[in-house]
Amino acid sequence: MEKEKKNIDRRNFLKTLGAGVAVTGGALYGFTPDIKAANTTSSSKLSGEVPTNKMTYRTNPHSGDHVSLLGYGCMRWPFRQKPGSKEEEPDQETINRLVDYAIEHGVNYFDTAPVYMRGLSEACAGIALKRHPRDKFLIATKLSNMRDFSFEQSKEMYLQSFKNLQVDHIDYYLLHSLGSVENCKKRFIDNGMVDFLVKERKAGRIRNLGWSFHGEVEAFDYMLAQDIQWDFAQIQLNYIDWKNADTSWNVNAEYLYDELVKHNVPAVIMEPLLGGRLANLPYHSLKLLKEMDINATPAEWAFRYAGTPEHVLTVLSGMVYMEHLQENIRTYSPLEPVNAEEDKVLQKIALQMKNSDFIPCTTCQYCMPCPYGIDIPSVFSHYNKCVNDNLLPKDAQDPNYREARRAFLVGYDRQVPKLRQASHCIGCDVCRSKCPQRINIPQEMSRIDVFTNKLRTEIY
Amino acid sequence: MLRKIRVALAAIVFTLLTLLFLDFTGTLQAWFGWLAKIQLVPAILAFNAGVLIFLILLTLIFGRVYCSVICPLGVCQDIISWFAGKTKRNRFTYSRPLSWLRYVMLAIFIVALSLGLSVIVALFEPYSAFGRIASELLAPIYLLGNNLLAFFAEKIDSYAFYSVDIWIKSGVTLAVAAITLVVIGFLSWRNGRTYCNTVCPVGTVLGWLSKISIMRPFINVDKCTNCRLCEKNCKASCIDIKTHAIDYSRCVACMDCIGKCKFDAMHYKCAFAKKDSPQKDVAEKSDDSSVSRRNFLSLTALLTLTTTLKAQEKAVQGGLATIEDKKIPKRTTHIVPPGAQSIKNVERHCTACQLCISACPNKVLRPSTALTRLMQPEMAYEQGYCRPECTRCSEVCPTGAILKITRENKVSTQIGRAVWIADNCIANTQNVRCNACERHCPVAAIHLVAVDPNDRRSKQLPVVSTEMCIGCGACEYYCPARPFSAMYVEGNEVHRTI
Whether residues B433 and A429 touch (CB distance < 8 A) is answered with yes
Q: Which residue has the higher pLDDT, B295 or A230?
A: A230
Banded pLDDT at B118 (limits 50, 70, 90):
confident
3-state secondary structure of A142: strand
Whether residues A370 and B321 touch (CB distance < 8 A) is answered with yes
Interface mutation target, options B157, B408, B438, B439, chain A, most CBs of A under 10 Å: B439
Contact with chain A for residue B433, Cβ under 8 A:
yes
Whether residues A369 and B162 touch (CB distance < 8 A) is answered with no
Report the range out of A268-282, B263-277, B400-414 with the highest average pLDDT: B400-414
pLDDT score for A249: 62
Question: In which element (H, E) is residue A18 found?
Answer: helix A2-28
Residues A32-43 have a mean pLDDT of 41
Contact with chain A for residue B344, Cβ under 8 A:
no
**8-state DSSP, A46:** T
Residues B158-165 have a mean pLDDT of 86
As a whole number of angstroms, the distance between CA B454 and CA B359 comes to 50
Residue A224: pLDDT over 70? yes
Residue A21: pLDDT over 80? no
As a whole number of angstroms, the distance between CA B395 and CA B403 comes to 8
Domain locations in chain A as residue ranges: 1-33+358-460, 44-354
Residues B269-286 have a mean pLDDT of 51
Can you give the three-state secondary structure of chain B, one letter per residue?
A: CHHHHHHHHHHHHHHHHHHHHHCCCCHHHHHHCHHHHCCHHHHHHCCCHHHHHHHHHHHHHHCCHHHHHHCHHHHHHHHHHHHHHHHCCCCCCCCCCCHHHHHHHHHHHHHHHHHCCHHHHHHHCHHHHHHHHHHHHHHHHHHHHHHHHHHHHHHCCCCCCCCCCCCCCCHHHHHHHHHHHHHHHHHHHHHCCHHHHHCCHHHHHHHHHHCCCCEEEEECCCCCCCCCHHHHCCCCCCEECCCCEECCCCCCCCCHHHHHCCCCCEEEEECCCCCCCCCCCCCCCCCCHHHHHHHHHHHHHHHHHHHHHHHHHHHHHCCCCCCCCCCCCCCCCCCCCCCCCEHHHHHHHCCCCCHHHHHCCCCCEEECCCHHHCCCEEECCCCCCCCCCCCHHHHHCCCCCCCCCCHHHHCCEEEEEEEECHHHCHHHHCCCCCCHHHHHCCCCCEEEEECCCCCCCCCEEEEECCCCCCCCCHHHHHCCCCCCCCEEEEEEEEEEEC
pLDDT score for B304: 43
Banded pLDDT at A46 (limits 50, 70, 90):
low
Report the range out of A137-141, A424-428, B283-287, B391-395 with the highest average pLDDT: A137-141
Banded pLDDT at B299 (limits 50, 70, 90):
very low
**Long-range CB contact pairs, B169-175, < 8 A, 24+:** B169/B357, B169/B366, B169/B367, B170/B366, B170/B367, B170/B368, B170/B369, B170/B375, B171/B369, B172/B367, B172/B369, B172/B374, B172/B375, B173/B132, B173/B136, B173/B352, B173/B354, B173/B367, B173/B374, B173/B375, B174/B136, B174/B137
What CA dihedral angle connects B395, B340, B380 and B383, to 10 degrees? 20
Residues B291-306 have a mean pLDDT of 46
Banded pLDDT at A56 (limits 50, 70, 90):
very high
Gap from B448 CA to chain A (nearest CA, Å)? 13
Whether residues A427 and B319 touch (CB distance < 8 A) is answered with no
Report the range out of A118-132, B303-317, B454-468 with the highest average pLDDT: A118-132
Residues A339-359 have a mean pLDDT of 85
Residue A397: pLDDT over 50? yes
Banded pLDDT at A436 (limits 50, 70, 90):
confident
Residue B274: pLDDT over 90? no
Q: What is the pLDDT of residues B395-429, one digit of tens each?
A: 999 999 999 999 889 999 999 999 999 999 999 99
Residues B331-339 have a mean pLDDT of 93
Confidence (pTM)? 0.65
Contact with chain A for residue B387, Cβ under 8 A:
yes
Q: Which residue has the higher pLDDT, B43 or A403?
A: B43
Whether residues A369 and B433 touch (CB distance < 8 A) is answered with no
Residues A313-339 have a mean pLDDT of 94
Q: Which residues of B touch A372 (CB under 8 A)?
A: 321, 323, 480
pLDDT score for A200: 95
Contact with chain A for residue B361, Cβ under 8 A:
no
User: Who contacts A3 (Cβ-Cβ below 8 Å, separation ≥6)?
Assistant: none
Gap from B132 CA to chain A (nearest CA, Å)? 28
The pair phi, psi for residue A208, each rounded to 5°, is: -135, 135
Whether residues B435 and A427 touch (CB distance < 8 A) is answered with yes
A44-354 has which fold? TIM Barrel (3.20.20)
Measured between CB atoms, which of B159, B388, B426 is closest to A410? B159
Average pLDDT, whole number, for chain B?
86
Contact with chain A for residue B152, Cβ under 8 A:
no
Banded pLDDT at A458 (limits 50, 70, 90):
confident
Banded pLDDT at B379 (limits 50, 70, 90):
very high
Whether residues A456 and B387 touch (CB distance < 8 A) is answered with yes
Gap from A397 CA to chain B (nearest CA, Å)? 19
Interface mutation target, options B24, B320, B382, B487, chain A, most CBs of A under 10 Å: B320
Residues B421-443 have a mean pLDDT of 91
Q: What is the pLDDT of residues A147-205, one digit of tens each?
A: 788 999 999 999 999 999 999 999 999 999 888 899 899 999 999 999 999 999 999 99
Please report the number of interchain residue pairs, chain A to chain B, with beta-carbon separation below 8 angstroms. Answer: 62
Q: Considering only alpha carbons, which residue of chain B is nearest residue A402? A: B159
Whether residues B432 and A423 touch (CB distance < 8 A) is answered with no
Q: What is the pLDDT of residues B363-373, one digit of tens each?
A: 999 999 888 88
Contact with chain A for residue B289, Cβ under 8 A:
no
Q: Considering only alpha carbons, which residue of chain B is nearest residue A457? A: B389
**8-state DSSP, A87:** -
Whether residues A373 and B387 touch (CB distance < 8 A) is answered with no
pLDDT score for A248: 54
As a whole number of angstroms, the distance between CA A440 and CA A425 comes to 13
pLDDT score for B336: 95
Banded pLDDT at B78 (limits 50, 70, 90):
very high
Q: Which residue has the higher pLDDT, A262 or A439?
A: A262
Gap from A300 CA to chain B (nearest CA, Å)? 28
pLDDT score for A430: 85
CA A90 to chain centre: 22
Judge if the upstream peptide bond of residue B398 is cis by omega within 30 degrees of 0.
no
User: Which of A34-48, A280-294, B141-155 has the weakest average pLDDT?
Assistant: A34-48
Contact B364, B379 (CB under 8 A): yes
Banded pLDDT at B335 (limits 50, 70, 90):
very high
Residues A406-426 have a mean pLDDT of 90
Banded pLDDT at A286 (limits 50, 70, 90):
confident
Q: Which residue has the higher pLDDT, A366 or A1?
A: A366
Q: Is the ipTM of this complex over 0.85?
A: no
Whether residues B321 and A417 touch (CB distance < 8 A) is answered with no
Average pLDDT, whole number, for chain A?
85
Give the other-Cβ count within 10 Å of B189's Cβ: 17
Residue A282: pLDDT over 80? no
Interface mutation target, options B432, B438, B440, chain A, most CBs of A under 10 Å: B432
pLDDT score for A355: 66
Residue B311: pLDDT over 80? no
